[in-house]
Chains A and B, each alone.
Chain A
Amino acid sequence: MPHTIIEKLWNSHLVEEQPGAPALLFIDLHLVHEVTSPQAFQGLRERGLKVRRPDLTIATADHSIPTTDRSLPIVDQIAAKQLAQLETNCAEFGIRCLGVHSDRQGIVHVIGPELGLTQPGMTVVCGDSHTATHGAFGALAFGIGTSEVENVLASQCLLQLKSKTFEVKVEGTLRRGVSAKDIILALIAKIGVGGGTGCVFEFTGSAIRALSMDERMTVCNMSIEGGARAGLIAPDDTTFEYLCGRPHAPKGAAWDAAMARWKQLPTDSGAIYDRQVTIDANALEPMITYGTNPGMGMPINAPLPEPAEVTDPMARDSIAKALAYMGLEGGKPLAGHAIDVVFIGSCTNSRISDLRAAASVLKGRKVNPKLRVLVVPGSQEVKRQAIAEGLSDIFLAAGCEWRDAGCSMCIAMNGDQLAPGEYSVSTSNRNFEGRQGKGGRTFLASPLTAAASAITGVVTDVRTLL
């Protein structure tokens, strides 16, 4: 019987299936960070348990870490305590921690792939909903809560109910100025933030095959914003080229054996998905969100929706409430709307190709002096590479802030935040009320759109600057 890659991953990780209980799945890689782990380690202590497989577990500090000078003490004492707790917990339980001062520190979803830890055919979990990022390698990767973090630390297993399979087929060629971020924003705008609930996405089609690994990670990263706990892409030569030579990637004969396994992963022809949707890449335009969830997105030159035109009363109220929070008026254009901050970073768009894209627009130009523009690399490695390529010089010459690696203004836990009422164009993944700072207002877009808007000071279609 033909199987999808999702079913193959599921079947190959089944430890046990007992009547009356969900399946017990083995987890190949557990990523840990400071925010969702302390209560789990405490739980282990209270039960007198050890970490079963420290060799399949790795920690880093990303959410509450400052992106300013790391040689200085951390001002926020609560964050400092949480970061110190991570180091203590990892030392006590024998877990490797790429902490505040590690030269491999970075956003958990940037460093896993970068180190070659994320590999095709794996199950990957983390107490973070953007774990779907790792699906770009043909892994089944999903976010878990803190109780589940504790379960995995203790047993390296998770009880899971089987998800439905959902093929997202993206065919065609992206036009100039349109990028991976626009694919995923378009999908979420089409199916809504609950559209993939209960499902795992598999992204297929010529437009997906044409993407680099960095771009594939951008697409898979925001699966959760479409309601799907995981999203993945079958591995191919692009995947293998990315992995070859990475620190933890297999070497020599082990590489050949791994390649033979990985090539068995793609969905068999004739396999049937529970659901399917198709997106025409040729017709895509740069996307932007206007509201307070990632499903409230549209092509950048479209008019804002009119609540009065929505028939369902609760949906109408939701749009009206979102527009009120955002200080926007239905029917008007969003392009040209003044902004205060541009944020280029996050687990969605902080990799080297994202920084290259932003730099390609900013090169030889200046950002609007009224704006604050933050460029936050996803990891120390991305930071080093960007410096080596001269990208940091481009950002600094343009008038951007070039900061240290972390989640930064995506989640605004570390002091990098919007002031109440401020508008940002942000390459991050969530535009929820207050996500980037209490009262802050977020327009989600691609690094190209963010860079273009940084120059003009208003929401800008990058194609006008290319």
Chain B
Amino acid sequence: MKPFTNFRSRLVPLAINNIDTDQIIPARFLKTTSKEGLDRQLFCDWRYDAQGNPKPDFILNQPRVAGAQVLLAGDNFGCGSSREHAPWALTQFGFRAVISTSFADIFTGNSLKNALLPIAVPPDVHAELFAAVAADPGVTVEIDLAAQTLTTPAGRRVPFPIDAFAKHCLIEGVDELGYILKQEGAIRAYESSHPSPINTLEIVR
């Protein structure tokens, strides 16, 4: 992973609550054994008609989206299935952050592992952002991860929460596994004091 740097971006508004991961990427695309090539499948069933042609009224098909890196979505974004294909598809499309009032737990974890920042803001800020982008699609926000702030188009600096360890991993561009593997001593100590009640390799009837 590349270190996560501060950036300024236009917003891609998607004013729908409870956007589930089946909408972000439908299950029929999960037969892949790779992480790659998922950007075309992002929001596939909202984005393309039955013939596979882009629907011009869907936001992701509009020229204004080019270069925008922040998705502004309704409440409880990313609910449903645990598929990590959802953040893979979002980042491959070019998103680096999603703003909502809340995120589903598994989606949050998956996103942070893929340099996609879930930014939860209070309802008034959320409403302000939707109003700002409705008034002028060209408005931008600034995201400063180190300071944990989102600067709204009106210049308001809004703090957002993030787990300190996830923040560290994003800023350094490292993943969790390296840290976990360094805890070998503690893992071994746990294993030796907690004999396992099962053995899946045993063939039993």
Measured between alpha carbons, how far is A150 from B114 in the docked complex, in Å?
Answer: 14
Expressed in whole angstroms, the minimum distance between the Cβ of B119 and any Cβ of chain A is 16
Q: Which of A138-159 contact B (CB under 8 A)?
A: 143-148, 150-151, 154-157, 159
Is B76 on the interface with A (CB-CB < 8 A)?
yes
Partner-binding segment picked from B15-23, B64-72, B139-147: B15-23
For the complex, would chain B's binding face be called helix, strand, loop or mixed by DSSP majority?
loop
Contacts of B84 in A (CB 8 A): 36, 39, 145-147
Q: How far apart are the CA atoms of A56 and B191 in the complex, in Å? A: 12
Report the Cα distance A49→B83, complex, angstroms.
23
Q: Are A154 and B177 in contact (CB-based, < 8 A)?
A: yes
Given A247-B204, A434-B45, the answer on whether A145 and B82 have CB atoms closer than 8 Å is yes
Q: Judge whether B30 and A63 touch: CB under 8 Å.
A: yes
Max chain A Cβ within 10 angstroms of own Cβ: one of B16, B30, B200: B200
**What's the count of A-B pairs with C-beta under 8 Å?**
211
Contact A55 B199 (CB under 8 A): yes
Q: Is the CB of B26 within 8 A of A434?
A: yes
Binary interface profile of A, 149-179, with partner B (CB < 8 Å = 1, else 0)? 0110011110101010000000000000000
State whether A258 and B76 are in contact (beta carbons under 8 Å apart), knowing that A15-B190, A63-B30, A127-B82 are contacts in the complex.
no
Chain B, Cβ-Cβ closest to A18: B183
A227 and B105 form a contact (CB under 8 A): yes
Q: How far is the CB of B101 from chain A (nearest CB, A)?
A: 9
Tell me which of A117, A156, A293, A438 contacts B200 (CB under 8 A).
A117
B22 touches A430 (CB 8 A): yes
Q: Flag if A147 contacts B113 (CB, 8 Å).
A: yes
> What is the number of residues of chain B that contact chain A, defined by CB distance less than 8 Å?
61
Interface size on A, residues (CB 8 A): 83
Contact between B33 and A150, CB atoms less than 8 A apart? no
**In the assembled complex, how far is the CB of residue B85 from the closest CB belonging to chain A, in whole angstroms?**
8
Q: Is A273 an interface residue (CB 8 A)?
A: no
- Chain B window 167-205, contacts with chain A (Cβ cutoff 8 Å), 1 for yes, 0 for no: 010000001110111010011001100101111111011
> Is the CB–CB distance between A194 and B102 below 8 Å?
yes
- Does chain A have a CB within 8 A of B2? no
Q: Is the CB of B198 within 8 A of A129?
A: no
Q: Which residues of A contact B (CB under 8 A)?
A: 15-16, 20-22, 24, 26, 28-29, 35-36, 38-39, 42, 47, 53-58, 63-64, 76, 78-79, 81-82, 85, 95-96, 117, 119, 122, 127-129, 143-148, 150-151, 154-157, 159, 161, 163, 192-194, 197-198, 224, 227, 229, 247-248, 250, 254, 258, 293, 295, 314-315, 317-318, 321, 411-413, 420, 430, 432-435, 438-439
Q: Which B positions have Cβ atoms within 8 angstroms of A?
A: 15-18, 20, 22-23, 26-28, 30-35, 45, 50, 74-76, 79-84, 102-106, 109-110, 113-114, 163-165, 168, 175-177, 179-181, 183, 186-187, 190-191, 194, 196-202, 204-205
- In the complex, besides A36-B83, A157-B187, A412-B27, 16 extra interface pairs with C-beta distance below 8 angstroms are A20-B168, A21-B165, A24-B180, A26-B194, A53-B196, A64-B31, A85-B33, A127-B82, A145-B106, A147-B110, A147-B114, A155-B181, A248-B199, A430-B22, A432-B20, A432-B23
29 contacts between A and B (CB under 8 A): A16-B190, A21-B179, A24-B180, A24-B187, A39-B84, A56-B200, A78-B31, A81-B33, A117-B200, A129-B80, A129-B81, A144-B82, A144-B109, A146-B84, A150-B177, A161-B163, A193-B18, A193-B76, A194-B76, A194-B102, A227-B76, A227-B105, A248-B199, A258-B197, A317-B15, A318-B17, A433-B22, A435-B22, A438-B45
